[in-house]
A and B are shown apart, each in its own frame.
Chain A
């Protein structure tokens, strides 16, 4: 029986300091801290954490390796199931997956699995060379559309099986949401993201950036003219939603996608990059998910006094608790049970305020959540010069529109079965393009299942 010790909290940058910079918030564990935390794992016979992991990482096994001081061994254990440990260790919602299922969590605090995974990922990057495969891929050509989490996971598994994989990316840098969506202070790009993508390229995966499937070339052209035998569509959910209220096209109203893309992909926060960004002096972020937290925490770093406006209460916030906690520490105001009804402009067409209405929670809706109801006559104005809409995203219809036989559902998501087979043989799909906006790790899991299905499909051909 392991000695009873408390879960070790990872060191973090001081909130007062970090609210003014884009350096990473959490420093993670060092080797000694990782060793200490690793001793807390009970190594259950039936590890519930593994079942709760969307990619099924052998968690007790890699933690055992850490305990032995064999960090390279721990990396090998994770590598069987995940190519992105330093990324997932940072952005996975562990509290509702592995850590949420940890036996220790029933009476006390779960093992800090995410921070341990991150430690292994970071240690590998700093200590292990990128392992290049010398053998040229011998298998058939497979096209992967989109270089986000699902595409990367799918490509990595297919490359390991010997397939000749090319990833097509519409933007100029690979990574999808890891690159344009999640900010630097949660997920450093040039170190963490680039390194894990480099590792996948070292497996023999080719990445072609600046290719928009459906415009530059179609799926049918890839299959008929370029010799690809199967296709995986992992194009995510990239179209922003707006509220449809008056004033949304005023100057100073942005989608969270625009705001974050300018800041993250285009590096607008750096003076030496040309892309401009406007956080304003008083910024209102509408929404309560992780993207809303990312947008608000970016705005405050750019110097704006920032308020998050959400129509339910703090309990219902869909964002991770950790993100909400960090946002509060950094000085972001939370205006709950508040819903914008109109954005008000000045005489030049710039935002000057947001008209909101107070809400209360009514009866539970079909999803079981109590739905917010407006309180009549409770309208009030909040002064603002920028408004960021973080209301969720939906899949881009371009691929479905330009590929015959690929069905979409009412929400614009591609129709695919549990292993990713779409309505057209040879074309597979997974991640947000199928489910609508979800998490990095669920997309990776879908990418892995589709890789296995593509392998089975091509072997049966």
Chain B
């Protein structure tokens, strides 16, 4: 357990581990009656044949996943799904010119890790800002420190590090003269919306990773549709990462809540 309700798990999935790239996700189903839950991959080790996921108890099926014990197995794990992050396909020259700053929020901190790690290993300048409500809710700080140039921690209540949200920290860094070529924000939809507004203000391009509702994750159901630049895209096969400037976050947040009523009924059972 990383916090009281966030859990890190290492899953054995050799084929998946061999194929995974930063930015991709997988789908796990805990047991016969569980939902298919999409989770962004937090680390992968092709040699060991393992992938790491970090899950927060949100609804019925995530509770089942978080409550699993070491040595348990999930009935299904499938992936990797979605496209890898854009920088994976960049040429060495393009990469060398990058100065990337990540803004990570909550459970979204974990999927930042493989991206920072990939860039750091290639010698690309990487800063990471992790935001949390208070100091007890940070995850992945030690791991992250080892794969970036500078790690900035901030808390909403000021109990640790910078007092304020991640986007305020970014503004402060830029005001201090820090230069970045792009922002990558991963976290709750509302955080990515505000990160996009900040990036726009600073004139920086921003990539966001959308954690929409999904069933199959392969383009079949269309539950994950999002409006990107006025066009309907499927987060599972066209994403999960998109240009933040183009995403209709208000629609995306509304669509995320489509089954809230059913979830709360289950949780009350």
B256: nearest residue on chain A (CB-CB)? Answer: A251
Residue numbers in A under 8 Å from B222 (CB-CB): 240, 242, 254-255, 257-258
Closest residue to A240 on the B side, CB-wise?
B222
Q: Is the CB of A262 within 8 A of B227?
A: no
Across the interface, do A216 and B80 meet the contact criterion of CB distance under 8 Å?
Answer: yes
Number of interface residues of B (CB under 8 A): 40
Asked if A266 and B215 sit within 8 Å, CB to CB, the answer is: yes
A396 at interface by CB-CB < 8 Å: yes
A261 close to B221 (CB less than 8 A): yes
Q: Which of A212, A249, A348 contacts B251 (CB 8 A)?
A: A249
Closest to B18 in A: A217
Task: State A255–B223 Cα separation when bound (angstroms).
Answer: 8
Report yes or no: B35 in contact with A274, Cβ–Cβ below 8 A: yes
Chain A binder among B96-104, B146-154, B172-180, B258-266? B258-266
Instruction: Tell whether A349 is near chain B: CB-to-CB under 8 Å.
Output: yes
Q: What class of interface size applies to chain A in its complex with B?
A: 35 or more
Segment of B70-78, B182-190, B201-209 in the binding face: B70-78
Q: Give the distance in Å from the alpha carbon of A242 to the alpha carbon of B255 in the complex.
A: 17
Residue among B78, B79, B222, B259 with max Cβ neighbours from chain A (10 Å): B222
A238 to B220 CA separation, bound complex (whole angstroms): 5
| Residues in A whose Cβ lies below 8 Å from that of B220 | 180, 238-240, 257-258, 261, 396
| In the complex, B16 has a CB within 8 A of chain A | yes
Report the nearest A residue to B237, measured CB to CB.
A398
When chains A and B are docked, how far (Å) is the Cα of A275 from the Cα of B64? 13
Interface string of B75-119 (1 = CB under 8 A from A): 111111100000000000000000000000000000000000000
Asked if B60 contacts A274 (CB within 8 A), the reply is: yes
B36 within 8 A of A: yes
Query: Nearest Cβ in chain B — how far from A214, in angstroms?
Result: 9
What total of A-B pairs shows CB separation below 8 Å?
Answer: 106
Q: How far is the CA of A239 from the CA of B225 in the complex (A)?
A: 12
Chain B stretch 218-269: residues in CB contact (< 8 A) with chain A: 218-223, 225-227, 232, 237, 251, 254-255, 257-259, 262-263, 266
Which A residues lie within 8 Å of B193 (CB)? none
Partner of A217, one of B15, B218, B226: B15
Q: In the complex, what distance in Å separates the CA atom of A396 from the CA atom of B238?
A: 12
Q: Are the C-beta atoms of A210 and B76 separated by less than 8 Å?
A: yes
Contacting residues, chain A, for B16 (C-beta < 8 A): 216
Contact surface of A with B, Cβ cutoff 8 Å:
170-172, 180, 209-212, 215-217, 238-240, 242, 248-249, 251-252, 254-255, 257-258, 261-262, 266-267, 272-278, 348-349, 396, 398
Q: Which residues of B contact A (CB under 8 A)?
A: 15-16, 19, 29, 33-36, 60-61, 64, 75-81, 215-216, 218-223, 225-227, 232, 237, 251, 254-255, 257-259, 262-263, 266
Q: A257-B221, A276-B262 are in contact. List 13 more A-B contacts (CB 8 A).
A: A170-B218, A215-B79, A216-B80, A240-B222, A251-B255, A257-B220, A258-B223, A262-B215, A266-B215, A274-B35, A274-B64, A276-B266, A398-B218
Question: Which 5 pairs between the two chains have the least Cβ-Cβ distance?
Answer: A276-B262, A258-B221, A210-B78, A255-B222, A172-B76
